Copies of this chain bind each other. A is one copy, B any other.
Amino acid sequence: MDTFLTQPKQTFVNLSPEKRESIVRAAVSEFAEQGYQRASLNNIVKRLGISKGSLYQYFDNKEALFLHVFDHFTQQVKQYVKASVGGNGRDDFFVVARQVLLAGIAFIDSHPEYFQVYLKVLFERDVPRREELVARVRLFSLEYFGPLADLAMGQGVLRSDIPSQKVVFILDAMLDRFLQGYAQPYLDGGLALAGMSAGRLDDEIDSMVAVLRTGLQPSGNGE
């Protein structure tokens, strides 16, 4: 998780941070809009006002540029999750779920295009090293909630008639789908999540977590 997918050429490293950022930004934008295969290097250099030859001085090829962008993305995600989730293991299972969901929302709000890149990777063929890329992101959720669910189940906080793995799947599915709906029009089920005020969004999240809590906790612990 900590190693890089690819390395830019030395020429790119020598660039000023501003220029490096602007290049990454333009690339993210293009990959977010078009996905990997349709993304056009000609477009990217046109946006940047640099020549195509320069881009090839910075990265070996399209794939290397894309992997560099994805590296940036995973680093950002890591930061957000780490910052949003307290960290001590004694938090309530569903409180943590709520925190993770909020972290996701915050991430999408500040890096909407990165999330689009991720969604494109999920549903596009022939993305270089796709399995590996997806795994890097999804393991955040699965490896994070897995042990947490095991722990919660041991403490009797989760209903015991459903294996913890399924609990993780359900939790992951709900959170992931909520974020999809937030980021993608048409998937919000008429809830208009996209343009929603922070307050109303909180309500939606509360409802969802409430349902998860009631549905996943042992019977009898009601509300």
Which A residues are within 8 Å of any B CB, using their own CB?
A: 33-35, 37-38, 119-120, 122-125, 131, 134-135, 138, 141-142, 159, 161-162, 165-166, 168-170, 172-174, 176-178, 180-181, 184, 186-191, 204, 207-208, 210-216, 219-220, 222-223
A172 contacts B189, C-beta separation under 8 Å: yes
Hey, which chain B residues are within 8 Å of A215, CB to CB?
A: 210-216
- Measured between alpha carbons, how far is A124 from B36 in the docked complex, in Å? 11
Q: Which B residues touch A170, using CB under 8 A?
A: 174, 207-208, 211
Which residues does chain B contribute within 8 Å of A219, judged by CB atoms? Answer: 214, 222-223
Residue among A122, A165, A181, A189 having the largest count of chain B Cβ atoms under 10 Å: A189
Verify B186–A169 contact, CB threshold 8 A: no
Please, which residues of chain B bring their CB within 8 A of the CB of A122? 123, 184, 186-187
Closest residue of B by beta carbon distance from A120: B123
- Whether the Cβ atoms of A162 and B211 lie closer than 8 Å is yes
Is A173 a contact partner of B165 (Cβ separation < 8 A)?
no
Interface of A is mostly: helix
Measured between alpha carbons, how far is A217 from B190 in the docked complex, in Å?
22
Which among A131, A191, A212, A223 has the greatest number of chain B C-beta atoms within 10 A? A191
Q: Contacts of A191 on B, CB cut-off 8 Å?
A: 165-166, 169
A125, B33: Cβ atoms closer than 8 Å: yes
Q: Which of B168, B208, B214, B223 contacts A189 (CB 8 A)?
A: B168
Q: A93 to B163: give the CA distance in the assembly, Å.
A: 25
Cβ distance A146 to chain B, nearest Cβ, rounded Å: 8
Q: Chain B residues with Cβ under 8 A from A161's Cβ?
A: 210
**Chain A to chain B contacts (Cβ below 8 Å), 14 pairs:** A35-B124, A119-B123, A120-B123, A122-B187, A138-B186, A141-B189, A161-B210, A162-B210, A162-B211, A166-B204, A169-B190, A169-B204, A170-B211, A219-B223
Which of A125, A180, A211 counts the most chain B CB atoms within 10 A?
A211
Contacts beyond the supplied A168-B189, A169-B191: 17 A-B pairs with Cβ under 8 Å: A33-B125, A34-B125, A123-B123, A123-B124, A138-B186, A142-B190, A165-B191, A166-B191, A166-B208, A169-B204, A170-B174, A174-B174, A174-B177, A210-B215, A212-B215, A214-B219, A222-B222
